[in-house]
Each structure stands twice: as structure tokens, then as C-alpha cells.
Amino acid sequence: MSEVVRRRVVVHGRVQGVFFRDTTRREASRRGVAGWVTNRPDGAVEAVFEGPPDVVEAMVEFSSSGPRGADVDRVETSEEQPEGLDGFDVR
């Protein structure tokens, strides 16, 4: 079986109210990445991506710009142990 990695990102800036979560869900589903994305009370968006290293890194890269209308100030990224997630959810 191929290697699976997990990354958690917290995206800061103008990222709520610009379809960031739904666009992230569509991108992740298109790429076959598992995980979830949610709005945080502090105005940031948090997401977890699990899958092959190259597609997970592509999702981290996507998070640094987001959809049209987003204005990303910074992205915090951390590595985590994969949990074997299946599918991608908006929370």
C-alpha cells in the first residue's frame, strides 16, 4: 500500500464567507484526499488532509491561496499521525 500522510492546516485571513470550506471539499474530493474542513470561532478555517504525500501537499498549497475572494494572511501547518479517514467532510 502506498504511503499516507496527514497534515492539519489553520488558515488565517479573510477566509470565512468566501466559500473556502466548500471549495476545499470539492478540491479534496477531486484529488482523492480524505479529511475535513471547518470554520473556527476566531475567524480562521481549519482543515485536515490525509492521503498520498503529493496530493496532500497540493491541498496544503491550495490552502495558501484558497478560492477567489479569499485573502489568506498565513497558514499554520502541522504533521499528524494518519487516522485512516474516508471521504471529506465540511464540519
- Dihedral of CA 9/4/87/60: which sign? positive
Averaged pLDDT for residues 66-78? 96
Averaged pLDDT for residues 4-14? 98
Output the pTM of the full model. Answer: 0.95
Place 65 in a pLDDT band, splitting at 50, 70 and 90. Answer: very high
Q: Evaluate whether 1 touches 74 at the Cβ level (below 8 Å).
A: no
Strand locations in the chain, DSSP E?
5-14, 34-39, 45-51, 71-80, 88-90
Q: Evaluate whether 87 touches 25 at the Cβ level (below 8 Å).
A: no
Please give the pLDDT value at position 2.
Answer: 77
Fold assignment, 5-84? Alpha-Beta Plaits (3.30.70)
Averaged pLDDT for residues 34-47? 98
Please give the pLDDT value at position 33.
Answer: 98
Q: Evaluate whether 20 touches 45 at the Cβ level (below 8 Å).
A: yes
Active site residues: 21, 39
Averaged pLDDT for residues 35-56? 98
